Amino acid sequence: MAASNQMTRAIAQLGNLPAFMRQWATSTAFGRTVKFAGTAGIQFESLKPGEVTCSIANKSHVQNHIGGVHAAAMALLAETATGFVVGISLPDDKLPLLKSMHVDYTKRAAGGLRAVATLSPEQIEQLKTQPKGAVTVPVVVTDKEGKEPISAEFVWAWIPKPVKGAAAAAASKASSAPADASAAKPSSKL
C-alpha cells in the first residue's frame, strides 16, 4: 500500500484471508463504513499504491429508467475510486475532503461499470508531506464494452485532522462560558 495509515492497516489484515474472500471482505468493510457506497454495491477489484479499481454491477437497485446504471451511481463509483486512492495515500493525521467534482455524461453505458483512479508518485509525495492541499485525481470509467460513458474530474483536498481531546476541551469551554459580559453579571433591575 502507498502509506501506512488506519485504512491500509485494515486492508493488510484482510490480506490474511483466502484469496477468494479478499475482494468481498474489502468491499463489505468499506460498504459498512461508507453506507451509500455499500448500498449501491460497489466492489473493490484492486488496491495498489497509487491505483484503485472499483466496479458496480448493472442491477435493479442502481438502474435508471432505461435499464442502465443511473447517472448518480456512475458519479458515486468514480468518487469512491478517487476517494479511496487518496485515502490509502494520506497519513492518519490528515482528513480527505472532496472539494469538487465534474462529470460529463458522454455515452449510454452498456452493462456494469469499472472505475480506475490513479495518483502519480509526485501527488502521493504531496499528500504525505504537505499539511494541507488539493490534488486532481484522474479516473477512467468504462463499461462492459470498454467504452467510457462518462468523463470525470475530482479534486480532493486534505487538511490536518482536528485533535479530538483539544477540540472537545475547546468546545466544552466555549459552551460553558457566558456569551457576553452582560450575561455574567446579575441584573439589578427587576
DSSP for 87-130, written as a single string: HTTS-TTEEEEEEEEEEEE-S---S-EEEEEE--HHHHHHHHH-
Ordered by start, the domain boundaries in the chain are: 6-184
Residue 95 has a CB neighbour count (10 Å cut-off) of 14
Q: Do strands 43-48 and 150-160 pair parallel, antiparallel, or not at all (unpaired)?
A: unpaired
pLDDT grade for 179, boundaries at 50, 70 and 90: low
In terms of pLDDT, which residue wins out, 14 or 148?
148
> What are the phi and psi torsion angles at 88 (to 5°)?
-80, -10
pLDDT recorded at residue 164: 78
Q: Biggest alpha carbon distance in the chain?
A: 80
pLDDT grade for 1, boundaries at 50, 70 and 90: very low
Give one DSSP letter per residue of the chain, joined into a string.
Answer: --S-SHHHHHHHHHTTS-HHHHHHHHHHHHHHHSHHHHHHT-EEEEEETTEEEEEE---GGGB-TTSSB-HHHHHHHHHHHHHHHHHTTS-TTEEEEEEEEEEEE-S---S-EEEEEE--HHHHHHHHH-SSEEEEEEEEEEETTS--SEEEEEEEEEEEPPPHHHHHHHHHHHHHS-SSHHHHSPPS--
Q: Is the pLDDT assigned to residue 117 strictly greater than 90?
A: yes
Cell numbers found for residue 33: 463504513
Torsion of CA 126, 131, 134, 135, to 10 degrees: 20
In terms of pLDDT, which residue wins out, 26 or 58?
58
- The amino acid at residue 43 is Q
pLDDT recorded at residue 24: 78
Homologous superfamily of 6-184 in CATH?
Answer: Hotdog Thioesterase (3.10.129.10)
